[in-house]
Chains A and B, each alone.
Chain A
């Protein structure tokens, strides 16, 4: 779980010594996120986002538990109970806006976290399991966010639930019965609202559990770093505490600034006004769009407008949308290049940025109505997305000539003079 030079936990106070014998929880924390966890010395700010995602989850859990004390999951009163939180409950507006925008903040930091993983090849051996658990967390987050969005029972809530549970009806033969079973009715109604509330309360704790596995799996090989070069000696690492606890605390400050400006200055910026209209099962809003964090996947869903082979357009759309996420599970085996960091992969780096542009384009297409040129653009965008992972990535891994890499992390930081072979006096005393 750690490098041989990592500091050992040595409780000083008699109470802590007693505690260490009975329940070594402080030892666990020390080794996980304290002075006992040795981390590469060269991590940049992109390495903040894991901790920030954890912070965002805690914000969601705390505000969510409070909201559940005031909310009522019944189609007759759900919408009004949310308005009751906004208008009558003391500080209710703040807690709800924090929860609403907290979801967006959670997705922003998780997308940056995934971006970091893709750019620096964090998914590669020996960290495949960290990546697989991360994709699992992402899927759970999507399910949780979707169900949470249904709870206010506004127009977007209702029609979002109708459309997303409609995905299941695309499955041949069992689709429609399955959908009715999931909804407990023929359309989203009281049964669906209640079960969504129950699961929306449960899933964040499941996410918390998978995060513990994610961090556990990470701590076996230890954190990667921007060069992708493995840790070779003591000079390459610094203890997590105080070096990265301080750096993460700074990142948390920036995160809270952005989060606060959303809550206090434009709390509805990322929402849809239609969700302030109570749900009406007889009238679909003219333009249904999911929350911003689902838009690229929604564009892939909408890209299929024609039957192809023996599968109809609807099923293709649903398959493609799920496949676009499921594909990420195979990433560690699709990218066969031994070089982790895109900093040393001149060709992959170009395609990486094209992929980023492609996902942003899909996001825009997801937001636009199902008309030309957006349909065509989302089709091209979807094709490129799959081509990137299934064709470009394996080929690039094979033909690319990587740039020369530093011999060690220390050399990357300090230049040739800081090579591990140089006496440690050449290295700052903090290392």
Chain B
């Protein structure tokens, strides 16, 4: 309190004892309030049991070329599609300039397993499940998937070609644990 001076009227000048108490009190209350906000915010995030559903094993032995199955990972639909050689050729023949989100089919599949297109069945626009995985469903203008909600068309590599979706269908992290079993997540 060396800097403190007292004028003739007895009023303290400069940094007063009371200023220090005010700042300390408000700071402490502020830290306390912030500490309470943290649990209130984090309680909204996905809980541990939701996160625990993070890997799924799929047997793909029964899927014939040209067929696809719908399964689920983290409660989201996943498409596992066995591409025909023509579909792979069509995906390879596509010019990069025709793609909105430029990726090659090699980047979207595992080496040597190019026929296995594994993507989330979640349209990157607003999250509907595109058609095209089940027999008889519309595959859209590019032979892949078609989202009926807002009209996004995906090609045989699950890449966005037309419609409002911004990006290609998401390829989830996965591994081939054997020739016929895939572990997603």
Chain A interface (Cβ within 8 Å of chain B)?
159, 162-167, 169-170, 180-187, 189, 191, 195, 281-284, 286-288, 302, 304-305, 307, 312-315, 317, 369-371, 375
Contact = CB atoms under 8 A, between A and B. Distances in A.
Given A284-B149, A313-B166, A185 B46 contact: yes
B128 A159 contact: yes
A293 B164 CA distance: 23
Interface string B158-172: 000001111000000
Given A184-B50, A185-B75, A162 B163 contact: no
Nearest to B73: A186
Contacts of B124: 314
Contact of B151 (A159, A162, A170, A305): A305
B164 A314 contact: yes
A282 B72 contact: yes
B100 interface: yes
A162 B47 contact: no
Contact of B149 (A163, A304, A315): A163
Interface string B17-47: 0000000000000000000000000001111
Contacts of A284: 128-130, 147-149
Given A162-B128, A163-B126, A191-B47, A186 B149 contact: no
Given A313-B164, A370-B149, A370-B150, A189 B75 contact: yes
A163 B129 CA distance: 11
Contact of B70 (A183, A282, A305): A282
Interface string B39-63: 0000011110010000000000000
B66 interface: no
Given A186-B75, A281-B76, A312-B166, 18 more contacts: A165-B127, A185-B50, A185-B74, A186-B46, A186-B76, A187-B76, A189-B50, A195-B44, A282-B77, A284-B130, A284-B147, A284-B148, A304-B164, A307-B100, A313-B163, A314-B126, A315-B166, A375-B151
Nearest to A375: B151
Contact of A305 (B128, B129, B163): B163
Given A284-B149, A314-B164, A317-B164, A167 B50 contact: no
A255 B20 CA distance: 63
A314 B125 contact: yes
A44 B164 CA distance: 45
Nearest to B164: A313
B46 A286 contact: no
A314 B70 CA distance: 25
Interface residues of B, number: 29
Nearest first, the 5 closest Cβ-Cβ pairs linking A and B are: A370-B151, A166-B126, A312-B166, A166-B127, A313-B164
A164 B163 CA distance: 18
Given A162-B127, A166-B127, A287-B148, A281 B72 contact: yes
B125 A166 contact: yes
- Determine the main DSSP class of B at the interface with A: loop
A283 B126 contact: no
Contacts of B76: 186-187, 281
Contacts of A304: 164
B126 A162 contact: yes
Interface string B117-157: 00001001111111000000000000000011111000000
Contacts of B166: 170, 307, 312-315
Contacts of A371: 151
B136 to A, nearest CB: 13
Contacts of B50: 184-186, 189, 191
A314 B47 contact: no
B172 to A, nearest CB: 11
A184 B125 contact: no
Nearest to A370: B151
Nearest to B44: A181
A302 B164 contact: yes
B164 A305 contact: yes
9 contacts: A163-B128, A181-B46, A183-B46, A184-B45, A185-B75, A284-B129, A302-B150, A369-B148, A370-B148
A183 B44 CA distance: 8
A313 B44 CA distance: 29
Nearest to A311: B166
Nearest to B41: A181
Contacts of B164: 302, 304-305, 313-314, 317
Contacts of B148: 284, 286-288, 369-370
A88 B2 CA distance: 80
B44 A288 contact: no
Nearest to A182: B44
Given A282-B77, A302-B164, A304-B164, A184 B44 contact: yes
Contacts of B150: 302, 305, 370
Nearest to B167: A312
A369 B152 CA distance: 12
A375 B162 CA distance: 13
A283 B121 CA distance: 10
Nearest to A316: B164
A162 B121 CA distance: 13
Given A187-B75, A282-B72, A284-B148, A163 B127 contact: yes
Interface string B65-82: 000001010111100000
A180 B45 contact: yes
B30 to A, nearest CB: 24
Interface centre among A164, A283, A304 (most CB of B within 10 A): A283
